Amino acid sequence: MADSDAGAEQVKLDDEGFLKAIACWDRRMVETLARLNEIGPLTEDHWKIIDFVRGYYLEHGVGPPVVRIGKATGLNAADICRLFPCGVVRGAFRLAGLPRPPGCI
């Protein structure tokens, strides 16, 4: 994916659609990232997951497993898959500004 407009900001993405620099993330760019990844419209449940995934990464240095996301948000695996049909990594991790996990296809 190429760089894309996010209002007045530029969203800098790598070739796989992940944010180039996690420090550049802000909540205003999430709608743009969602549109680029064909996710949405974003709901409160999307935001629960995005906020949890980002907070978990910032605390632990890795993204959380789906089971942990479900326990923290009260959503089951089917709900999470419905919200992020491209998968947690390609969906929630991208929208939360996280890097692609090593070893992830």
19 found inside a domain = yes
Question: What one-character-per-residue DSSP string does 11-29 give?
Answer: E-B-TTS-BS-GGG--GGG
Sites in the chain below the pLDDT cut of 70: 1-10, 103-105
- Domain holding 84, by residue range, is 4-95
Residue 19 · residue 97 · CB < 8 Å: yes
Residue 28 · residue 104 · CB < 8 Å: no
Domain harbouring 76, CATH code: 1.10.10.370
What pLDDT score does 105 carry? 55
How many folded domains does the chain comprise? 1
**CA triple 69-73-76, angle to 5 deg:** 70
What pLDDT score does 74 carry? 97
Q: What is the pLDDT of residues 44-66, one digit of tens each?
A: 999 999 999 999 999 999 999 99
pTM: 0.86
* β-strand pairing of 9-11 with 4-6: antiparallel
Looking up tokens 């070739």 gives 15
43 found inside a domain = yes
22 found inside a domain = yes
